[in-house]
Amino acid sequence: MKNIAYILINYFFANIADMVLFYILLRPICFSKQSLKNGIVTILLLSQFVILVDYFCEPGSIILMITVNMVWFFMGSITEKHVSKKKTVFQLILSSVILVISNIMFICIPILVFKLDVVDLLSNGHIRWILIIFSKVLEIILAFYSLYLIRYYKILQHTYFFKPICCLFSLFILSSLFLFKEILNLQKLKKPMHTNTIMVLLITEFTILAVIVFIIQVYKKLQYMNKTEVENHIQKLVLDCQKDAIKTIRTKQHEYKNHIESINALLLEHDINKAEYYIRKLLKQSIDTDQTIRKNASFMEILIDYKLKEAKTNEIQIIKKLTVCHDIPIEEYDLAIVINNAMNNAIEACIKLPVIKRYIKCIIIIKLNYLNFYFENSCKEDIEWVNDELVTTKNDKAVHGFGLQNIKHVVNKYNGIFMIGANKGIFNLKCSLLIPEYSTKQSYNTIQE
């Protein structure tokens, strides 16, 4: 009875767990269109294949692992014809790494921590059964966690860093297999175990894993910086377009005096028809002119008015209060990043709601040498948060969701404060920028709406 239980646990359960590991990591790439029933059949068939190869051929751990990876690669290529080869190889190597970690937990940890003999691990006793079950459950947990990390960090979307990661993974696998072989050979030759040697090998392997994690984190940091730079460049282009439009409007406003003098001259000559034609022409031009922009307004007021007009065209109620001076020593590009991103997010959130619920409150004041922004808007109640960060609801998350991050970047640049919150369908954003070399002897404009 014990032999039957041993066979079921050691061969059937262990091999199925290994194949489930490969299937979990490869499913998003190669088997996404496959039904669960077919997936179970694939796992069972490959599990039996591994048992037969191991039993009749006895190829050894390295050759067996390579064979299993090749079979899964072949199965994935057949199931999904347009699958990415790089992504498949990456997932296969990751699966092998998890298998190796599982074996480390099965062989090395019991020997080093619990001082167990290798004989106990290789025998058919209860200790081996417990360790097999524990290590295989650990495999499945690591598989799901790795899949979560891959999706969260979008690792598979960028394949140009696969080569160094795969090389380190391969080095980790080879060093681990060498470690296992060394332990088994020592036991076979009845030599004493050298704990220091094993510890050095373990430290080497965990160092490799730490380097891999470090590379991924550095990559994510560079990826964020590149996307932020692109986003800021886009903001600059938008700002330049807005400034050109404002310059055109002010030029037209400057010509109003000449137009009025021309109309007055026509009326003095009693040329009513020409005067009416002139007036109609001016009215047509004024329709295309942004009436919300004042000639002597500060850049911040102009930008706010520009965005609030956009909000009004979407039938959003506006509550506005600005108390600012004309010569704040903060770069216009930085102001544009804060205002444009905050207003864009608010407008996008409002247009998803019924017209009666749409509103945006915008308050900008100077207090205690800080330029303080407060934006509040209505929004849906089911806002998603991950690690205290707001998650974008747009479909293409890889190129969206950087608006708040760009605002944070500006806030950090001016040693400011940044806070966001959402409760019962109301979203608010508060940020303060420390004004450098600020003088209180300034003229203020207070605009309230």
pLDDT tens for each residue of 95-131: 888 888 887 777 777 776 666 666 666 665 677 777 7
181: which residues sit within 8 A by CB, 6+ positions away?
61
Domain assignment of residue 238, yes or no: no
Does residue 235 lie in a domain region?
A: no
Same domain, 213 and 283: no
pLDDT of 440 higher than 50: no
Per-residue pLDDT at 350: 92
Neighbours of 274 (CB within 10 A): 14
The answer on 299 and 159 residing in a single domain is no
Looking at the structure, do residues 330 and 285 belong to the same domain, yes or no?
A: no
Q: Is residue 287 a part of any domain in this protein? A: yes
pLDDT in tens, 352-372: 899 999 999 999 988 888 899
- 316 & 377 share domain: yes
Name every residue whose Cβ is closer than 8 Å to that of residue 359 and which is 6 or more positions away in sequence: 316, 317, 318, 319, 350, 377, 378
Q: CA torsion angle for 285, 291, 296, 297 (degrees, to 10)?
A: -140
Residue 391 has pLDDT above 70, yes or no: no
For residues 281 and 303, membership in a common domain is answered with no
d(CA 50, CA 15): 7
Q: Which long-range contacts (CB under 8 A, 24 or more apart) does 1-5 make?
A: 2/124, 3/124, 5/129
- What is the three-state SS of 319-378? EEEEEEECCCCCCHHHHHHHHHHHHHHHHHHHCCCCHHHCEEEEEEEEECCEEEEEEEEE
Q: Is there a single domain that holds both residue 286 and residue 301?
A: no
Q: What 3-state class would DSSP assign to 32?
A: coil
Q: What percent of the chain has pLDDT over 90?
A: 8
22-54 exposure pattern, b = at least 16 Cβ within 10 A, e = fewer: bbbbbbebbbeeeeeeebeebbeebbeebbebb
Q: Which of 3-12, 35-44, 140-149, 167-176 has the lowest mean pLDDT?
A: 3-12
Residues 284 and 409 in one domain: no
Out of 193, 213, 230, a domain closes at 230
Six-digit token string for 294: 């004042």
If asked whether residues 203 and 216 sit together in one domain, one would say yes
Q: Are 271 and 177 part of one and the same domain?
A: no
How far is 412 from 340, CA to CA, in rounded Å? 17
Evaluate whether residue 149 is within a structural domain: yes
Token pair for 22:
């490969």
Average pLDDT over residues 54-68: 77
265 and 162 in a single domain? The answer is no
Residue 236 lies in a domain: no
The answer to whether residue 201 sits within a structural domain is: yes
Smallest Cα–Cα separation from 354: which of 329, 391, 379? Answer: 379
Q: Tell me if 239 is assigned to some domain.
A: no
Q: Are 413 and 239 in contact (CB under 8 A)?
A: no
**Last residue of one domain, picked from the residues 238, 266, 291:** 291
Q: Give me the domain span that covers residue 20.
A: 2-230
Please state the domain count of the chain.
Answer: 3
- How far apart CA 412 and CA 417 sit, in angstroms, is 8
pLDDT at position 317:
92
Phi, psi torsion values for 298, nearest 5 degrees: -75, 165
Rounded Cα–Cα distance for residues 173 and 65 (Å): 10
Give the whole-angstrom CA distance, residue 315 versus residue 214.
48
Q: pTM for the complete prediction?
A: 0.49
- 371 and 439 share one domain: yes
Q: Are residues 261 and 355 in the same domain?
A: no
Alpha-carbon distances of 238 from 23, 224, 233, 243, rounded to whole Å:
47, 21, 9, 9
Q: What is the pLDDT confidence band of residue 441, given thresholds at 50, 70 and 90?
A: very low
More confident residue, 188 or 12: 12
DSSP-based three-state secondary structure for 420: strand
Query: Residue 185: pLDDT above 50?
Result: yes
Residue 117 falls inside a structural domain? yes
